[in-house]
Structure 1
Amino acid sequence: MNIVRVALDLPLPRLFDYLAPDSAQSDIGRRVIVPFGKASRTGVIIEVAAASEHPDDKLKAVTEILRDMPALPPEWLALCEFCARYYQTPLGEVTSFALPPMLRRGKLPRIRKAAQKIAVPPPTPLPQLLASQQAAVDAIVEVAGFHTLLLHGVTGSGKTEVYLRAIDAVLARGGQALMLVPEIALTPQLEGRVAARFPAAHIVCANSGMADAARARGFLDALAGRADIVLGTRLAVFMPMPRLQLIVVDEEHDASFKQQDGLRYSARDVAVWRAHQLSIPIVLGSATPSLETFHHASTGRYKMLELPERAVADAMPVVRIVDTRREKLQEGLSAALLAGLQQRLERGEQSLVFLNRRGYAPVLACPPCGWISRCQRCAANLVLHLADQRLRCHHCGFETRVPRACPDCGNVDLLPFGRGTQRLETMLAERFPEASVLRIDRDSASTPKKWQALLATIHEGSADILVGTQMLAKGHDFPLLTLVGAVGADAALFAADFRAPERLFAQLMQVGGRSGRADLPGEVLIQTEYPDHPLYRALVDHDYVRFARSQLDERRIAGFPPFSFQAMLRAEARSMEQSLAFLAAAREAATILPNSLADAVTLYDPVPMRLQRLMTLERGQLLVESLSRPALQAFLTAWMEKLYALKMPGGLRWHLDVDPLEF
């Protein structure tokens, strides 16, 4: 009697055997409905066997093998199995995550009566390639087999045009292309541009903001080979594509490619593994590559392709450092920045004031008694959103009305401290009453429709001064934008996270690159109290390589990635004592592993997380580090068996994050 081994979405690192007399080897990769406890679950058949290690009378029979769609191919199952191994996550959780929600529920979308219309810009002549662009295209098109190519191009150097030329070559050969972008907000404009370039191609989008049925239809189109190009955010890396010949990861340095809950995978790294699996090239593009990627390119593991000059403008924007140590700022803005804004208004050009902090002010406080607006559920402050009179936690989502008086002493003169985008918007509107000031952050662009409306306003030239967060830092061309002013950047220089300088440099270079992308020269003003800091000097010189090498030297001395490999075990419980006790027990469990495994890693002491309380749960963490990735993986595989056997108090949850980006 045939047995099927099924991966179910359960936090258990095992497969489940069921009786399935009518099953065959061709059913591997099919979805199946099975009884589990008193309910039914949908899983994926991983194996069909003649016998089980469990007695047949102890096995339940499958309810139904779903043969209403093609079986998931072996390459897709192998990709899920890799993620399960590397990220130490049960295979059932991985396969469930990789399927669109509708398919994982055992359903299929209705057949669409008419193809969805994509907003396609009018066709334009192909731009003339620069010599460096042509060399990059040739290198990508001519490569055979698996290669990882880093396309390192300054902002505005025409990286997207290189991607499109390479995709064109793939489509001409009858292949499929997969292109990943970091933000949902970037997909609509990219989809329109790709559709205009390839009007005969079937283009599928994949991101978490899509309706369930649309995601499922796109998945099925890709699975059947009907999709020629798949565009999407990190989850698109799991789209099954039988003719896949090229993978592109744009803005590969972006932290958005790393999933921070559930399956904590890096879409960029999974894409590299997938390219290796299929023996195809992968292109990683960025003006500010991650230090790991730059290190691989510098040591020959990846091939470096350089785009050193702009394709959309004659020159890079001029970067100027504004020393604010002896200047009295006006609502956080220097005289130089205010003068620059006035000049752009007089010339009919656009400006962007960049502050990566939304809301009106980071905290509301009562000076007489010292009360501040703290979140009841997190170890964080509630941010003042004055426009709708709310205090909000940007970590857990808790919100409440702004109090009329201090809850502790009754003082009615509560004061906002610090500033966010809303406060800057208000100040600039008062300072420049003749200007149209437009704020762009997650509050003002809370839906795709609102985001598209804001972009349309900018492109029409109806906005004079933009106030924005990192949403505007990448992937946008605004021809009239000639001034970028960066405020509030200094805090990241001395953050506890060793990756903070890398993120700050990338952020400032990316947002500065929005200026001067057409015929008008661009200027970037960076306000700082540390004008001689090497990071800022490298920005002035547009010298990413100098900055990257200095950072790598520091990391080599400190033993940080990419010169070591890390995993973080985190626990959260009702009390910090419970979280740290579990982590201590986990650390103790490592001591009973063979010395060949334990000696190759360093386990640090359990400590509270930086944001130690989130949504009423107290959180702790334990760092595991090794100089060898295979040694770390071998240790984690053995250690996880011990962790699953540990007794836990009720309500405690734990997870392992391999290659963590947040500490």
Structure 2
Amino acid sequence: MNRCRVAVDTPAHSGLGDTLDYESEQPLAPGTLVRVPLGRRDVPGIVWPAEDTAGPDAPTDGASAEDFALKPVAEALASLPPLPPAWCQLVEFTARYYQRSVGEVALSVLPPELRKLDDAGLAKRMRLQDKRATKAADGRLASAAASAPALPDLTPEQATVLAAMEGAPPACHLLHGVTGSGKTEVYLRLAEAALAAGRQALVLVPEINLTPQLEARFVARFPGRRLVSLHSALTPAQRLAHWLAAHRGQADLVLGTRLAIFCPLPRLGLIVVDEEHDPSYKQQDGARYSARDLAVYRGKLEGATVLLGSATPSLETWHHAQTGRYPRLTMAERVGQGPLPSVHVIDMSQQPRPAPGEPPVALAPALKAAIEARVARGEQSLLFLNRRGFAPVLHCTACGWKSDCPHCSAWRVFHKLDRTLRCHHCAFTERVPRACPECGNLDIQPVGRGTEKLEEQVGELLPGARVARIDADTTRLKGSLEQQLAAVHAGDVDVLVGTQMVTKGHDFRRVTLVAAVDPDGALFTADFRAPERLFATLMQAAGRAGRAAEVAQRSEMWVQTYNPAHPLFAALKAHDYARFAASQLQEREMAGLPPFAHLALLRAEARDADVAEGFLRAAREQARTWADELGVGEQISLYAPVPPHVARVAGYERRQMLVESALRGPLQRLLAQWVHGLPSLRSQHKGVVRWAIDVDPLTI
């Protein structure tokens, strides 16, 4: 019998290690998928690399051989090639750095369908896939022979960037290119070079709605190559088929969202992270990993070139480029030499005030006139408001009642089309009451503005204009987003109202005006990253205007704000990211914030806020003890527990505690010890439902 280590997903409170030992009649290569007994059930597992594969240790005095007998592996999925050693190393690094178990990370990043199949079922799937792949390959070859795509001429900046990367040893590069500068063409040329060298390319995008557009570009450029996508909108069967194609080397190109960073690729040569600054690359539950940071690590691990592309890089990435850690490549001109949109900042405090009882003005007169001029010329305008629904809250004018959520410390949003009050945190939904639930007053009014209300107001202000809205509410049905985007591209929309989902990555050729209707809410929050996020969002939104060279000269960005003197808007008017980043980094360094410090958050949830806080206070004392024993007490700061911005969600009170260090090493050493001691506190704080450590949190 052969002894093997197997990574299985065990509960964090079980006290079991990262891997468990089993025995097998046949030697099993590391990376082999297996099914093993755990308790009273069989669970999926992965044979994990081990230095020692000898038999079980001999029993100590007083223990019988039965006490140390290993359970046998129930089944090995021998039809599937083992996961490569580099994949196991990536998973192990992720588990260690983000303080999760190896088994949890390893199994959670596999396709759910794969975890359910036995070897016979998997072999059948693979045979069917091979037949389809053969037919599809014949079709791709015929298509490639019939229509080789004509390559567009490179701009001087694109040529310079590609020349700098050609022949360079694998490394991580930052591509800082303004919106419309042709970063996608650089990605295509680099992918072409990787494929010509017999390698595979992995392209990451922040959101699913960007996948179809980019996928179409890659399919058109590489008609003889197989491209697969990986994201949560796929069916389980599609996700498994695409994952298998990548793992078995049948797919040349993989395009996906953050989870695709764990896709096994035996010939990986290129990783592109498009819009690398986007917070969507950070996982917000389970193992809270950053796909962008793991892309950098994976590139180094597998000798692959990594390209981080953005018009507004994250301050961490920009800092690494400033200090020489990442070579920086710049594309400061748009394709066709068109100018960036001119930016107009409107002081809303100086605009005409509405009559008593009338709602606040949706569009300033100057902005309204500018949109009307676009409609008359057959051009398009995009209005950005990052708040969906009709109004953020309903309010009783008699007793002051507001549409709060009974399960969350947040308001329920008024959605006018279906007459509902909907909590965007826990999804609790009720019909809008006919009268105030507290006093019976019939006069309950919406307060504030969401995209649904803005769409209605614009329709009233611009009679005859074709107004459309794209947000999470209008794109729920499968295929609806593609249909709405197609209508915009076809010129069937004059004014598009949307949330952040339409402000990045889309190539709207007819849009010449973009307006941020109400960005002030993002300026003043407790989160130190708020200005960075808002500047990136506004810069990305501005980049939707004037992308076609023939209309670039008259493209504009309008910002309606009550704080026109804020330095963020001055940098936006000049399209000066470097100036904004320098001021933000100076503030961060003075305050001891990332990238000049390293953070972790311990979060706890309980029905009772005192229970959650008690758990965190006990954890804080435990951490102090560990820090002193490890000799890093002077290098670690442990702050008191505090509530987050939304303290209660779905009936659970949430509290968090910040851990800070100027150096990454001491923080990681503390966390590695601390994570094993925290389960022991649950017996003293039994009301705690869940807790989690978030390394490098995006929000605090």
For residues 624 and 536 of structure 2, what CA distance do their matches in structure 1 show? 40
For residues 15 and 124 of structure 1, what CA distance do their matches in structure 2 show? 50
Superposed counterparts of 1:452-531, under 5 Å: 452-518=482-548, 519-520=550-551, 521-531=554-564
Partner of 1:68: 79
Partner of 1:139: 164
Query: What's the CA shift for 1:483?
Result: 0.6
Amino acid at match of 2:670: F
Partner of 1:407: 437
For residues 183 and 284 of structure 1, what CA distance do their matches in structure 2 show? 16
Partner of 1:588: 621
Percentage of identical aligned residues = 50
For residues 26 and 258 of structure 2, what CA distance do their matches in structure 1 show? 34
For residues 325 and 25 of structure 2, what CA distance do their matches in structure 1 show? 48
Partner of 2:26: 23
Amino acid at match of 2:690: R
Partner of 2:455: 425
Query: What's the CA shift for 1:45?
Result: 1.3
Amino acid at match of 2:648: R
Amino acid at match of 2:163: D
Partner of 2:55: 51
For residues 460 and 549 of structure 1, what CA distance do their matches in structure 2 show? 41
Question: Which has the higher mean CA deviation after the structures are superposed, 356-365 or 325-334?
Answer: 325-334
SS across alignment from 1:185: helix
Amino acid at match of 1:655: A
For residues 124 and 312 of structure 1, what CA distance do their matches in structure 2 show? 21
SS across alignment from 2:654: strand
Partner of 1:564: 597
Superposed counterparts of 1:387-402, under 5 Å: 387-402=417-432
Partner of 2:585: 552
Amino acid at match of 2:663: S
Contact 2:604 2:688 in 1 (8 A): no
Query: What's the CA shift for 1:290?
Result: 0.2
Deviation by residue 1:181-232 (Cα, 9 ceiling, x = unmatched): 0010111111111010011111111111111111111111111111111110
Amino acid at match of 1:129: L
For residues 305 and 19 of structure 1, what CA distance do their matches in structure 2 show? 50
- What is the TM-score when the length of structure 2 is the normalising length? 0.92
Partner of 1:445: 475
Amino acid at match of 1:46: W
From 203, 207, 225, the equivalent of 1:201 is 225
Query: What's the CA shift for 1:328?
Result: 3.0
Contact 2:611 2:688 in 1 (8 A): no
Contact 2:4 2:28 in 1 (8 A): no
Superposed counterparts of 1:276-291, under 5 Å: 276-291=300-315
Deviation by residue 1:597-623 (Cα, 9 ceiling, x = unmatched): 333211101112221101100000010
From 77, 81, 97, the equivalent of 2:92 is 81
For residues 19 and 266 of structure 1, what CA distance do their matches in structure 2 show? 32
Partner of 2:669: 634
From 29, 41, 52, the equivalent of 2:43 is 41
Superposed counterparts of 1:296-311, under 5 Å: 296-311=320-335
For residues 337 and 179 of structure 2, what CA distance do their matches in structure 1 show? 10
Amino acid at match of 1:416: P
Contact 1:207 1:233 in 2 (8 A): yes
Deviation by residue 1:79-108 (Cα, 9 ceiling, x = unmatched): 100001000001111001121111122353
Amino acid at match of 2:666: A
* Number of equivalences: 661
Deviation by residue 1:260-280 (Cα, 9 ceiling, x = unmatched): 001100000000000011122
Partner of 2:62: none
For residues 525 and 195 of structure 1, what CA distance do their matches in structure 2 show? 36
Cα distance change of structure 1 residues 53 and 599 upon mapping to structure 2, 3 Å threshold: farther
The answer to whether the aligner puts 1:14 opposite 2:39 as a matched pair is: no
Query: What's the CA shift for 1:25?
Result: 4.5
Superposed counterparts of 1:346-365, under 5 Å: 346-365=376-395
Deviation by residue 1:547-586 (Cα, 9 ceiling, x = unmatched): 0000000000000000000000000011101101110111
Superposed counterparts of 1:147-186, under 5 Å: 147-186=171-210
From 252, 261, 264, the equivalent of 1:228 is 252
Question: Which has the higher mean CA deviation after the structures are superposed, 329-338 or 415-424?
Answer: 329-338
For residues 114 and 464 of structure 1, what CA distance do their matches in structure 2 show? 43
For residues 546 and 148 of structure 2, what CA distance do their matches in structure 1 show? 24
Cα distance change of structure 1 residues 490 and 32 upon mapping to structure 2, 3 Å threshold: same
Amino acid at match of 2:155: L
Superposed counterparts of 1:67-146, under 5 Å: 67-107=78-118, 108=122, 109=125, 111-112=128-129, 114=132, 125-145=150-170
SS across alignment from 1:387: coil
- What is the TM-score when the length of structure 1 is the normalising length? 0.97
Question: Which has the higher mean CA deviation after the structures are superposed, 535-544 or 650-659?
Answer: 650-659
For residues 123 and 423 of structure 1, what CA distance do their matches in structure 2 show? 48
SS across alignment from 1:388: coil
Cα distance change of structure 1 residues 193 and 377 upon mapping to structure 2, 3 Å threshold: same
Partner of 2:3: 3
Contact 2:623 2:674 in 1 (8 A): yes
Cα distance change of structure 1 residues 579 and 308 upon mapping to structure 2, 3 Å threshold: same
The answer to whether the aligner puts 1:274 opposite 2:317 as a matched pair is: no
Amino acid at match of 1:99: L
Partner of 1:210: 234
Cα distance change of structure 1 residues 481 and 140 upon mapping to structure 2, 3 Å threshold: same
Contact 2:4 2:24 in 1 (8 A): no
Query: What's the CA shift for 1:651?
Result: 5.0
Amino acid at match of 1:14: G
Query: What's the CA shift for 1:451?
Result: 0.3
Cα distance change of structure 1 residues 29 and 487 upon mapping to structure 2, 3 Å threshold: same
In structure 1, the gaps of 5 or more residues are none
Cα distance change of structure 1 residues 402 and 173 upon mapping to structure 2, 3 Å threshold: same
RMSD (Å), alpha carbons: 1.9
